[in-house]
Amino acid sequence: MNSISPKGLDEAQIRAQLARIGLRWANCISWNAGAAELFQQAVERGEAEVTAAGALAVSTGSHTGRSPKDKFIVRNAAAEGSVWWEANAGLSQTEFDLIKADMMGHARLKSLFVQDLVAGADPAHAMTVRVITEHAWQALFIRHLLSAAGGKDLAQPDLTILCLPSFKADPKRHGTRSETVIALDLEHGLVLIGGTQYAGEIKKSVFTVMNHRLPARGVLPMHCSANEGRDGDTALFFGLSGTGKTTLSTDPARALIGDDEHGWSDNGIFNIEGGCYAKAINLTAESEPEIFAAANRFASVLENVSLDGSRAPDFADGSITENTRAAYPLEAISNAKRDARGAVPSAIIMLTADAFGVLPPVARLSPDEAMYHFMSGYTAKLAGTERGVKEPQATFSACFGAPFLTRHPSVYGEMLRQLIARHKIPCYLVNTGWTGGAYGVGKRFPLAVTRKLVTAALSGAIDAAPMRSDPTFGFAVPVRLPGVPDEMLDPRRGWSDAAAYDAAATHLKALFAENFEKFAEPARKIAAE
């Protein structure tokens, strides 16, 4: 066995470390290699192409998004009484152990890349993570997305992730749905990923485990981005993939805390990650200069982004997938906060991409309305984010992140309700979706307008504006704001057929009510405890 070990571990020590999870054979192991070395390995092994600017362009094959139906949690003591089984598929410990044994055998002749990392910028709530992959580019990806372990002792990490895309599960033998498997053993701190190269599965496995781990410590895990103003005011942006979390939180006038996953403890806000995983479709230097520059820096990882004849990324090309991605460390954003932490939020913004075209671009939410929309998590599931999704579909995802929740949404909802009430935090709903008609007829709200609305919310300008009550949804909507056309603030005026708008709005309200019904009783029980 050849080994590359910047930490100075000898072969016997490396074998002992990996034997802890049952991995006893390997052809070549790279142990905590740096970005430059992983970059070189990815190119030499034919895993990636080098772009004109020095980024790595990789293809994830047939899996260009997450495979939520292939994700499982082991039904053991750590999970049985606390996991939300209505939304999480279970595996027996026997089935998981069989997958594990077969994956260990599969890894016998593979070259492996190990990275020892940390999730969570708050040391009091950080989780040590060891990621073992068979692709150098995936090791580089997760090195960007999490933080280096530094001097932390990872002899026994809190979580180990083994990702072998070339391993194919056998549904009859392993109890899986297909050849793809993402299996989480919460009791033993082990995640097995096989049959998919999509690196987002590694990232979201870490977040899923944090979603189970943090509430037990009184910390709220959140699928949100966060930034900080010059006066130290912190803003949170909740939302599903593609609704604008990364874009809107990456603001030259505000310091970026993080673009996707955060925890909220008694100490304030902290980023769970150490990097960004930005959607890259139609990315331009003019619309998103910071993200564009980060995507084009040395060793950034571009997933499924086509290159033109000069090897420059063609971000407008969605022929492979609309879910093109750029992964880079937080430090690639010039005004990112180096400690990745912030104070208690001064404002909360809930993002949605309304495919029906009936929600206003911004609304002020009462505390009860904020909880309703947090528990509902309405948006459009955007093309490419999951396998088989070819165009936007209306969907409800509790807490704006149901695929990553292990506990019942009411647990997270009640934690947020208490935090909002304790700190009296103003909340807003911002629609980054369609106006002037539903998807296919209307157009998406211009990014420049959405940025103005976010600025108005954070500055308090919306609270000072004249307001109307939305006749369908009841929340308060500004009648006019500087720099925003009045007719855009009232979506009904943008439809050519007002009666058709009313029908669509009534239909959407009914969908909200139908979806929320399944949360009403659990929410009442938790609130009463």
Contact in structure between 445 and 432 (CB atoms under 8 Å): yes
pLDDT tens, position by position, 191-220:
999 999 999 999 999 999 999 999 999 999
Q: Residue 10's pLDDT is what?
A: 64
Look at the alpha carbons of 205, 276, 323, 240 in this order and tell me if their dihedral is positive or negative.
positive
> d(Cα 201, Cα 182) in Å, to the nearest integer?
8
Residue 241: pLDDT band with limits 50, 70, 90? confident
317-323: long-range contacts at Cβ-Cβ below 8 A with a sequence spacing of 24 or more? 318/281, 318/383, 318/384, 320/59, 320/64, 321/64, 321/65, 321/383, 321/384, 322/281, 322/382, 322/383, 322/384, 323/64, 323/65, 323/241, 323/279, 323/281, 323/382, 323/383, 323/384, 323/385
**Single-letter amino acid, residue 366:** S
pLDDT surpassing 80 at residue 6: no
Beta bridge partners of 381: 393
What burial letters (b/e) apply to 410-440, b meaning 16+ CB within 10 Å? bbbbbbbbeebeeeebbbbbbbbbbbbbbbe
pLDDT surpassing 60 at residue 524: no
pLDDT surpassing 60 at residue 151: no
Q: What are phi and psi of 114, to 5 degrees?
A: -110, 135
Q: Residue 304's pLDDT is what?
A: 98
Residue of 261, 257, 263 whose CA lies nearest to 277? 261
Q: Residue 1's pLDDT is what?
A: 37
pLDDT surpassing 70 at residue 316: yes
Q: Residue 383's pLDDT is what?
A: 53
Catalytic positions = 66, 204, 223, 241, 245-246, 260, 325
In the block, residue with structure tokens 């002037």: 436
Residue boundaries of the structural domains of the chain: 2-45+67-213, 220-274+339-528
> d(Cα 511, Cα 9) in Å, to the nearest integer?
57
Name residues whose C-beta falls within 8 Å of residue 513's C-beta, 6 or more positions apart in sequence.
none
Residue of 223, 219, 523, 207 whose CA lies nearest to 401? 223
Q: Residue 4's pLDDT is what?
A: 46
Q: Residue 251's pLDDT is what?
A: 93
Residue of 344, 373, 115, 107 whose CA lies nearest to 234? 344
pLDDT tens, position by position, 444-474:
999 999 999 999 999 999 999 999 999 999 9
pLDDT tens, position by position, 47-100:
999 999 999 999 999 999 999 999 999 999 999 999 999 999 999 999 999 999
Q: Residue 390's pLDDT is what?
A: 56
- Mean of pLDDT values over 495-509: 94
Choose the CATH number for 220-274+339-528 among 3.40.50.360, 3.90.228.20, 1.10.30.50, 3.40.630.10: 3.90.228.20
- The predicted model scores a pTM of 0.92
Choose the CATH number for 2-45+67-213 among 3.40.449.10, 3.40.640.10, 3.90.230.10, 1.20.120.550: 3.40.449.10
Mean pLDDT of the chain: 92
Distances from the Cα of 77 to the Cαs of 53, 81, 82, 158, in angstroms? 49, 8, 9, 17
